[in-house]
Chain A
Amino acid sequence: MTAPLLTVRGVHRTFGSGAAAVHALRDISFEVEPGTMVALVGRSGSGKTTLLNVIGGLDRPDSGEVTVDGVEVTGLDEDGLSRLRRERVSYVFQNFGLIPVLSAAENVGVPLRLARAEPKEREHRVELLLELVGLADHARQRPGELSGGQQQRVAIARALAASPRLLIADEPTGQLDAETGLSVMALIRGIVESEGVTALVSTHDPVMMALADRVVRIADGQLLP
């Protein structure tokens, strides 16, 4: 049996204190096998984004433990977390998060620059990734010149640039129409299969859930059975 790529054990996260305390996550525990696509499903305010942030090291839990690819995320300092995000975990956001003055290709190359990749190697990898997301012809265009779906594809290509083990996508289709959203989810699905990446995608669209290998449901900060 393969070791899980992601292990979450007993994670608690509370915002505020006293009577105003909001328990965003309560004793969350689950595992994700490598090379699978997991859909994290829940209503707004259920704790999806908080859980993704804790897993990706963008937020720290009050208690509990998160391990990604054998690295205990909750025990890492700032530099360790930066390294984790540079080498093992990457993100796709609802609002794309591209740098407006850089072209699509330059945006995709950002993680490779951070990883100090050789220019030739970087250019080659960017080319491959843009081809993978179907934007080879738009490499020189800036984000403002691309549609929302195209921008999210560039964001996905950028997320894949440093060959992460875990791809975290927080509502990646939230700003897209249904058809475009579906194509983006299909792209992630395809990437999971072709690149062997593990994807954890939050959504509340039932159509998208159908593309996932597994669905994890969350409500009021607790996983549903």
Chain B
Amino acid sequence: MRLLPALHWPSIRGRARADAGPLLLVVLVVAAVSLLAAAVPPLLRGTADDAAREAVREHPDESAVRVDARWEDDYGPSGGRVRNDRLARDVEDLGGQAEATLDAGLRDALQPPVTTVTSISLVLTDGSVQRHFQLDYLRSGADGPAVTWLAGRAPGATREGNPEIPLNGSPWEVQVGLSETAAAALKMRPGDHIPLEDEQRNKYNVKVSGVFRPVDPRDPAWRLVPSALRPVAGLDGAGTTRLGGLLSASSLPDARLAFLQDQLRRTVWFSAEPDRLTWESAQRLAATVATLKAESGTSAERDTSLKWQTQLDGVLREVQAQVDAAYGQASVLLIAVLAGAVLVLLLAADLLMRRRSPALIAARQRGASLPGIAGELLIESLVVAVPAAALGIAVAFAVAGDAALPWVVPVASCGILAGPAFGTVAAARGTRDRRTPANRAARLFAQRTAQLRRAALDAAVVLAAVGAIVSLRQRGVGDSALPAAAPALAVIAATLLLVRLMPVVTGVALRQSLRSRRPLAVFGAAQAAATASRVLPLLVLTTTTALASFAVTLSATTGSGLADGAWRTVGADARLDVAPDETGSTAALAAKIAAAPGVTHVVAGDISGGVRVVTNDTSLTPNLVIVDAAAFHRLLASTPLPDAPGLDQLGKGGRDGIPVLVRGSLHPGLSLRLYLEDDQDSGASGGYSTAENAIKLTAVGAAPAIDGMDDVVVIDAAALPGTPDTIWATGPGAARAIDAVAASGHPVVRDAVLAARRSAPLTAGLRALDLAAAGTLLALGMLGFALGAAAGAPARWRTLARLRTLGLRTRDTRRVAAGELLPPVLVAAVSGPLLGVLLVRLTLGPLSLRLITAQSADPPAVVPWWLLGVASIVLLLTLVAVVVAEAAVRRRRGLGDVLRAGGD
């Protein structure tokens, strides 16, 4: 018994040769879409990695993993403290112990540990003001950080061995090295003692052993304790300066004795290595540290076990949201492209089936089995689709360094299976015994059954689409495929409904044209009505056009959202956040900026964060903005930012308190009480009655968005004078003018903010994907249209040839052909963009576009009508090109050939 069907190899070769064109198209579609589907996920992963690296680079300290451990008790048998001359080794062991806790993958994502031992900050009692001193022991790498001793020597031990010293003795001497900068600042030399005491005025005996210069000032250890190299301002409060003394392995045991248990802290630092960090390893690292933190959190308070800390999870949280949003959008776009490609491949299979149907039916009639026919067709499609998919995957691998194989499965499967399935079904149908019933009732029953089957299929697709949309709107894209497929399913469902309407619409058009006296209109409408029930061509064209419109609209909305986000972040063309010590000259700076060429509006304001406002029984801490309301209104009016008509109300005064505008948790109509910290002395209340230190406010309107702040209270500077610390400027010269005074603060330029956001890895990657998906879908639509036209071409031109025998002119045949092909193009050109725009409106929120555009709320959909118009024109031009090409091909065949009996 034969298990495998007999294959006729000459037929396989002959069919492939005869249909080389359509098969080549299948190769192109499978290869191109496989490339896109396989390359995008790893590329996106790459952008996520880049985003994680960028976030870590921007927040190095928060991203570092820090491990603390308490000291072991060093009390000796006589109640004194015992010197431990192996202390430096113990500290080093702590680093090794912490490193061993992390798995190898995570260790690769971290820089080698840096171990620090730092003392409390001591006060210098040399007569200088607010100078502090800290003792530091640093260990990076094998014996780093290396230093060169310029004078004196490395700190040595005060006493060798492990003697026990009494608790109440005089301060234990400890030797430190000073950097040349610190030595110069302190005016000290080797052998000098540094006069130090703590807050309780306890004296410390610290002796300078030598003066050093770092071999490599970029050693990570110096970054962790910069005061060991140079004086650092502000670490111990406003106006303070901290200097450092370097301990050695020999002097560290003495430092342990010089300080109390809690005055010396030993820490191991693992800085994240951005270049080796990936999105995945960053997340694993944060999760591991969170687990270690939870496990060690309580015990480390009591014993010497390791206590883990990091803020990496916080750093990644914002990136996480953006990455999730980017993955969601990318999934949606990829599924859209896959849906378009699968439909085009089905259309190609339909074309092949139509071309081969007579030969397949003849082969079946001559005795070929259906499994044999299916096997022959499967061999052909395997030869065509598998290498094409492999080529796409290989190029994706070359481009992206990896390939997402699961994403290739739908398009490769369709390329392999659609042709054999369509061909086998055609052969089976063409040779089955079932005949059309002669009985009218039976015919009607069969017709109704077929209609019911179609309706059930349509209903299933519509239900799936509704379910997917609901799922997307309720839960976002997430990890499930159904919400990500929502736009594609919704478009397919809507197009199916349009397809079912097409026969009705073309029937009406035909009836109308029959009343006209223009024969071409009648023939065109008749041809269109004859082909109106074909599902695939319209489905492909409308689906791809709608999804391309969706992608283009998403891209335009993102672009507009980024611009809007930059406006809201800066509040003008440029802004200067005046340095705290320069706020006294804010007015002069504003005047200077206003005088610069190309500056149209300048406003200075005072922004205070976290002021206390009480309404009813609720206390809030909004940002208080004190600004010249009228000038600020004029400035806002010169920008695309939303108008704030309420600003005009602020200058009018009020009986129940100062009129203010509010935003965020506060809303107009509220009576508020404002409490200003430490302002009673400065007279900031402006002479208003401040019963119980509160200023009465009345919210008279909505405040404009200012610098992306959530809760805001805006007060006119005439009502409550402030100390301006922010300058907004608009006009073409604003950025240059603000940059010119950059030394007085921190300039924020809108164009720069926008450029940075546009070029951010995730944003740039997504926008590129938007456009790539739109282009691919449009190309698939054009290809689908050409394939659909090719499938119907024989019947179309046979009818046109018959009309020519009746006297239709050759040039008019093209018009009639265009008339037949026009309805699906018109439907796609009109409904495609509308469906795309509707989809964007439905899915903007769930796709979390605001996270990509850095806006506080979902951006409104921005419809690039001109671009959608261009897409529609491209479709119409494709129609013209197809008709002209078809006419040229048919012209080569004589009219007589076309009309031979049975021929086409």
Known: A85-B804, A95-B901. A113 touches B519 (CB 8 A): yes
Whether A99 pairs with B804 at a CB distance below 8 angstroms is no
Known: A79-B809, A110-B806, A170-B901. A100 touches B530 (CB 8 A): yes
Q: Which of B514, B799, B806, B809 is in CB contact (< 8 Å) with A106?
A: B514
A165 at the interface (CB under 8 A from B): no
A26 at the interface (CB under 8 A from B): no
| Residue numbers in B under 8 Å from A101 (CB-CB) | 510, 526, 529-530
Whether B896 pairs with A59 at a CB distance below 8 angstroms is yes
B456 at the interface (CB under 8 A from A): no
- B497-521 near A? 1/0 per residue, CB < 8 Å: 0000000000000100010010100
Q: Which of B514, B530, B804 is in CB contact (< 8 Å) with A82?
A: B804
Whether B806 pairs with A99 at a CB distance below 8 angstroms is no
Whether A111 pairs with B807 at a CB distance below 8 angstroms is yes
Question: Once bound together, how far apart are the Cα atoms of A119 and B902, in whole Å?
Answer: 34
| Residue numbers in A under 8 Å from B805 (CB-CB) | 56, 58, 85, 90-91, 97
Question: Once bound together, how far apart are the Cα atoms of A183 and B805, in whole Å?
Answer: 24
**Smallest CB-CB separation from B895: which chain A residue?**
A58
A162 at the interface (CB under 8 A from B): yes
Q: Which of A83, A99, A170 is in CB contact (< 8 Å) with B807?
A: A83
Q: Which of B526, B804, B806 is in CB contact (< 8 Å) with A90?
A: B806
Whether B901 pairs with A58 at a CB distance below 8 angstroms is no
B808 at the interface (CB under 8 A from A): yes
A86 at the interface (CB under 8 A from B): yes
A-facing residues in B311-353 (Cβ within 8 Å): none
A171 at the interface (CB under 8 A from B): yes
Question: Once bound together, how far apart are the Cα atoms of A54 and B491, in whole Å?
Answer: 52
Whether B899 pairs with A99 at a CB distance below 8 angstroms is no
| Residue numbers in A under 8 Å from B529 (CB-CB) | 101
Question: Once bound together, how far apart are the Cα atoms of A116 and B807, in whole Å?
Answer: 11
Chain A: minimal CB distance from B804 (Å): 7
B802 at the interface (CB under 8 A from A): yes
- B883-904 near A? 1/0 per residue, CB < 8 Å: 0000000000011100111100
- B790-815 near A? 1/0 per residue, CB < 8 Å: 00000000010011111111100000
| Residue numbers in A under 8 Å from B246 (CB-CB) | none
Chain A: minimal CB distance from B15 (Å): 24
| Residue numbers in B under 8 Å from A93 (CB-CB) | 802, 899, 901
| Residue numbers in A under 8 Å from B810 (CB-CB) | 78, 82
| Residue numbers in A under 8 Å from B895 (CB-CB) | 53, 58-59
Q: Which of B517, B519, B802, B807 is in CB contact (< 8 Å) with A97?
A: B802
Whether A49 pairs with B530 at a CB distance below 8 angstroms is no
Chain B: minimal CB distance from A74 (Å): 14
Known: A58-B895, A101-B530, A102-B526. A94 touches B806 (CB 8 A): no
B-facing residues in A1-15 (Cβ within 8 Å): none
B-facing residues in A99-121 (Cβ within 8 Å): 99-102, 106, 110-111, 113-116, 119
Chain B: minimal CB distance from A191 (Å): 17
| Residue numbers in B under 8 Å from A114 (CB-CB) | 519, 803, 806-808
A158 at the interface (CB under 8 A from B): yes
B472 at the interface (CB under 8 A from A): no
Chain A: minimal CB distance from B578 (Å): 78
A220 at the interface (CB under 8 A from B): no
Majority secondary structure of chain B interface residues (helix, strand, loop or mixed): helix
A174 at the interface (CB under 8 A from B): yes
A72 at the interface (CB under 8 A from B): no
B522 at the interface (CB under 8 A from A): yes
Q: Which of A50, A95, A119 is in CB contact (< 8 Å) with B896?
A: A50
| Residue numbers in B under 8 Å from A127 (CB-CB) | none
**Smallest CB-CB separation from A168: which chain B residue?**
B805
Known: A58-B894, A58-B895, A116-B517. A111 touches B806 (CB 8 A): yes
A-facing residues in B800-846 (Cβ within 8 Å): 802-810
Q: By CB atoms of chain A within 10 A, which of B517, B519, B523, B896 has the most? A: B896
Chain A: minimal CB distance from B290 (Å): 70
A205 at the interface (CB under 8 A from B): no
Known: A82-B807, A158-B806, A162-B807. A99 touches B900 (CB 8 A): no
**Smallest CB-CB separation from A84: which chain B residue?**
B807
Whether A82 pairs with B894 at a CB distance below 8 angstroms is no
A87 at the interface (CB under 8 A from B): yes
Question: Once bound together, how far apart are the Cα atoms of A45 and B895, in whole Å?
Answer: 18
Whether A94 pairs with B510 at a CB distance below 8 angstroms is no
Q: By CB atoms of chain A within 10 A, which of B510, B523, B530, B809 has the most? A: B809
| Residue numbers in B under 8 Å from A58 (CB-CB) | 805, 894-896, 899
Chain B: minimal CB distance from A22 (Å): 13
Q: Which of A87, A113, A158, A171 is in CB contact (< 8 Å) with B901?
A: A171
| Residue numbers in B under 8 Å from A113 (CB-CB) | 517, 519, 522
Question: Once bound together, how far apart are the Cα atoms of A114 and B808, in whole Å?
Answer: 7
- B514-556 near A? 1/0 per residue, CB < 8 Å: 1001010011001001100000000000000000000000000
Chain B: minimal CB distance from A100 (Å): 6
Chain A: minimal CB distance from B527 (Å): 8
Whether B807 pairs with A115 at a CB distance below 8 angstroms is yes
- A160-193 near B? 1/0 per residue, CB < 8 Å: 0010000000110010000000000000000000
Whether A110 pairs with B899 at a CB distance below 8 angstroms is no
| Residue numbers in B under 8 Å from A53 (CB-CB) | 894-896, 899
Question: Once bound together, how far apart are the Cα atoms of A103 and B856, in whole Å?
Answer: 63
| Residue numbers in B under 8 Å from A99 (CB-CB) | 523, 526, 530, 799, 802
| Residue numbers in A under 8 Å from B809 (CB-CB) | 78-79, 82
Whether A82 pairs with B526 at a CB distance below 8 angstroms is no
Whether A86 pairs with B530 at a CB distance below 8 angstroms is no
**Smallest CB-CB separation from B519: which chain A residue?**
A113
| Residue numbers in B under 8 Å from A82 (CB-CB) | 804, 807-810
Q: By CB atoms of chain B within 10 A, which of A49, A90, A102 has the most? A: A102
| Residue numbers in A under 8 Å from B522 (CB-CB) | 113
Chain A: minimal CB distance from B406 (Å): 46
| Residue numbers in B under 8 Å from A102 (CB-CB) | 526
Chain A: minimal CB distance from B437 (Å): 15
**Smallest CB-CB separation from A50: which chain B residue?**
B896
**Smallest CB-CB separation from A99: which chain B residue?**
B526
Chain B: minimal CB distance from A143 (Å): 11
| Residue numbers in B under 8 Å from A83 (CB-CB) | 807
Question: Once bound together, how far apart are the Cα atoms of A82 and B803, in whole Å?
Answer: 10
Question: Once bound together, how far apart are the Cα atoms of A102 and B900, in whole Å?
Answer: 23
Whether A87 pairs with B899 at a CB distance below 8 angstroms is no
**Smallest CB-CB separation from B803: which chain A residue?**
A110
Whether B807 pairs with A49 at a CB distance below 8 angstroms is no
B-facing residues in A56-97 (Cβ within 8 Å): 56, 58-59, 78-79, 82-83, 85-87, 90-91, 93-95, 97
- A139-172 near B? 1/0 per residue, CB < 8 Å: 0000000000000000000100010000000110
Chain A: minimal CB distance from B626 (Å): 77
Question: Once bound together, how far apart are the Cα atoms of A159 and B244, in whole Å?
Answer: 110
**Smallest CB-CB separation from A88: which chain B residue?**
B807
Question: Once bound together, how far apart are the Cα atoms of A85 and B809, in whole Å?
Answer: 10
- B860-904 near A? 1/0 per residue, CB < 8 Å: 000000000000000000000000000000000011100111100
Chain A contact residues, CB within 8 Å of chain B: 49-50, 53-54, 56, 58-59, 78-79, 82-83, 85-87, 90-91, 93-95, 97, 99-102, 106, 110-111, 113-116, 119, 158, 162, 170-171, 174
Other 11 A-B pairs with CB < 8 A, given A101-B530, A114-B806: A58-B896, A59-B896, A85-B804, A91-B899, A93-B899, A94-B901, A99-B530, A100-B530, A106-B514, A113-B517, A115-B807
Chain B contact residues, CB within 8 Å of chain A: 510, 514, 517, 519, 522-523, 526, 529-530, 799, 802-810, 894-896, 899-902
- Enumerate the 6 nearest inter-chain pairs by beta-carbon distance, A residue then B residue, closest first: A86-B807, A53-B896, A59-B896, A113-B519, A94-B901, A97-B802
Identify 25 residue pairs between A and B in the complex whose beta-carbon atoms are under 8 Å apart, listed by A's number. Answer: A49-B896, A49-B900, A53-B895, A58-B894, A58-B895, A58-B896, A59-B894, A79-B809, A86-B807, A90-B806, A100-B530, A102-B526, A106-B514, A110-B519, A110-B806, A111-B806, A111-B807, A113-B517, A113-B519, A114-B807, A116-B517, A119-B517, A158-B806, A162-B806, A171-B901
